[in-house]
A and B are shown apart, each in its own frame.
Chain A
């Protein structure tokens, strides 16, 4: 059994989408639980990807290819996973703040988080504080991520946190902020929970937040 999990991990790391579909279906047909495939095959594989990326042994396109591969496997597993199994990996909403249309960095983080097994709701760009609140109420995420590239839009991050407070849900969510002009000092100032200095760091902190 562990050989199969090992194989799944391998295929995930090398980013072979056709192969992962085969193996996932194979495992299901063989009677393995979807949750087991996720927890013992896919997630450990993505952990290794994360480590290799951190050690500068893998490049971003390769990491994303692995994430795509993960996605393909998840497409097969999702209908078979229980609510708790899905939630266990963590849910995250992410967006670029109001007035800012830059999203490549944010999308990179979103893709890597998905690759790491998170359910990611990407709100896009120019997201008003109230829109973040509405999305939080709807999806009940563990984490809310905000991104900004323009210094002039950074104040919106503080406004969004205030909006969460006013809605009475600040305590239920961890807030992470990132983007080129953002710093640890700024993140402390506005009362966010974490600063994502780069994509890999953001994923690591997100995982820590959900106890992984």
Chain B
């Protein structure tokens, strides 16, 4: 029996040293004290005025470092979400990785015509069913944006319905404004049974986006304050683009991002301490040739991983990004960009890795890409299992028995272990060329489509209870009426 041993049960990875993290952290605090941010919300400004923060020029808020440091102590390093059926499956804890989709892509390629068209309620429902089925997806964000609604100002309620009816997995939602969030919350509480049940077993995280650089818009703030009040887990995240809405240097982008996040953190703390808050978001460059907000750039993977290092140091769950691409089609570029970002995000230990399945720089929510990425995530996670080193796996007895020139195929040891230690592909083809040709030269694209169609034909999650459904629809109708 061996003592005093340290094993790596998984590969170790990081981008930043502790000293570098601290420099970024202090720079963010400096920005908050010196530059601050603009807050476009009256209640929020009042809260700031009543605190140690300094409000000038109407809505310019500067915050002393001590406020941030005090506030940080109040935030949980552990947030758990439950599925529609109440099972607690989404654990946001340090280095526990979870994968899921992104939200609100306006376009999709029509499966029949191949034409690019706007996303519909039905498309989101299909995306939900596919994600519900795919084992490597842990949560669902709408993937597409429901455009066939009576009023675009209430699309979020309809979108929620499409999502929650078609998957039982925990959700991350977007809302149009504070009113939208209220309705989504009310509907979720119907499903949970009560506000208390939602608080202890949240069904969704709300995604809130202030505006880089340093602008905290009315919509973003009202959603944040409501979330703080009700204890709704929230992501408060700008989407900076290095060189455009943030400094061109990645370190500078991280500084600004953190400063924006911290303002939200301090604000929600003033409203009501201890809300489940998640930091992070999409961090990438503006491509300086095409002006595209790039989802495939290696800087996205790098910045996200560095951000994750910072989030772990702060003790807060991280919302990272991966499995996405600038490619307009599921080609080699999509595969490469998705693989690099998924692999890096997994290694970094981010709690939520979202935007899986995004094409066209986040404008196209591809169903085929979801199916492909499920396979990539499986491969990436298999690497994440690391190498087990113990007497059994060192197999010195077996090596001795087999000896030079022998073979291991017929060994019991092999039979016992290969099922557990090897990864078995579902979509990757390893047949030799003769077999492949005889089988019709099937491409990966064809296998992906086959699988996607099969899922859509056969997989239907448990429907929602009829009474609950009726009540939810009432809420939606009311909102539609009010908006028109």
Contacts and interface: CB of A to CB of B under 8 A. Distances in A.
Chains A and B touch (C-beta atoms under 8 A apart): yes
Interface of A: 56, 59-61, 101-102, 104-105, 108, 151-155, 180-181, 198-199
Contact of B363 (A59, A60, A101, A180): A180
B289 A60 contact: yes
Contacts, number: 42
Contact of A152 (B118, B176, B215): B176
Given A155-B152, A181-B106, A101 B211 contact: yes
Q: Which of A61, A155, A180, A198 has the most CB of B within 10 A?
A: A180
Contacts of A108: 244, 291
B401 to A, nearest CB: 63
Nearest to B219: A101
A36 B211 CA distance: 43
Given A101-B217, A181-B363, 14 more contacts: A56-B289, A59-B289, A60-B286, A61-B248, A101-B211, A101-B215, A104-B286, A152-B152, A152-B153, A152-B155, A153-B152, A181-B106, A198-B291, A199-B291
B291 A151 contact: no
Interface of B: 104, 106-107, 118, 145, 147, 152-153, 155, 176, 211, 215, 217, 241, 243-245, 248, 286, 288-291, 363
A151 B117 CA distance: 13
Contacts of B217: 101
Contacts of B248: 61
A149 B208 CA distance: 16
Contacts of B106: 151, 180-181
Contact of A198 (B107, B211, B288, B290): B290
The 6 closest A-B pairs by CB, nearest first: A152-B152, A59-B288, A181-B106, A60-B288, A151-B106, A104-B244
Contacts of B245: 104
Contacts of A180: 106, 363
Contacts of B291: 60, 105, 108, 198-199
Instruction: State the majority secondary structure of interface residues on B.
Output: loop
B243 A104 contact: no
Nearest to B244: A104
A61 B243 contact: yes
Nearest to B243: A61
A181 B362 CA distance: 10
A104 B289 CA distance: 15
Nearest to B155: A152
Contacts of A101: 211, 215, 217
Contacts of B176: 152
A154 B118 CA distance: 13
A97 B376 CA distance: 40
B215 A151 contact: no
23 contacts: A59-B288, A59-B289, A60-B286, A60-B288, A60-B289, A60-B291, A61-B248, A61-B288, A102-B211, A104-B241, A104-B244, A104-B245, A108-B244, A151-B104, A151-B145, A151-B152, A152-B152, A152-B176, A153-B152, A154-B152, A155-B152, A180-B106, A199-B291
A160 B28 CA distance: 40
A155 to B, nearest CB: 6
Contacts of A56: 289
A59 B291 CA distance: 9
Contacts of B243: 61
Nearest to A199: B291
Nearest to B106: A181
A52 to B, nearest CB: 12
A174 B96 CA distance: 54
Contacts of A151: 104, 106, 118, 145, 147, 152
A104 B354 CA distance: 24
B119 to A, nearest CB: 9
Contacts of B244: 104, 108
Nearest to A57: B289
B181 to A, nearest CB: 15
A61 B155 CA distance: 37
Nearest to B210: A101
Nearest to A58: B289
A101 B218 CA distance: 11
Contacts of A59: 288-289
Nearest to A180: B363
Nearest to B245: A104
Nearest to A109: B291
Q: Which of A105, A152, A155, A180 has the most CB of B within 10 A?
A: A152
Contacts of A181: 106-107, 363
Nearest to A53: B289
Contacts of B153: 152
Contacts of A61: 243, 248, 288
A50 B370 CA distance: 39
A172 B171 CA distance: 49
A101 B215 CA distance: 10
A198 B291 CA distance: 8
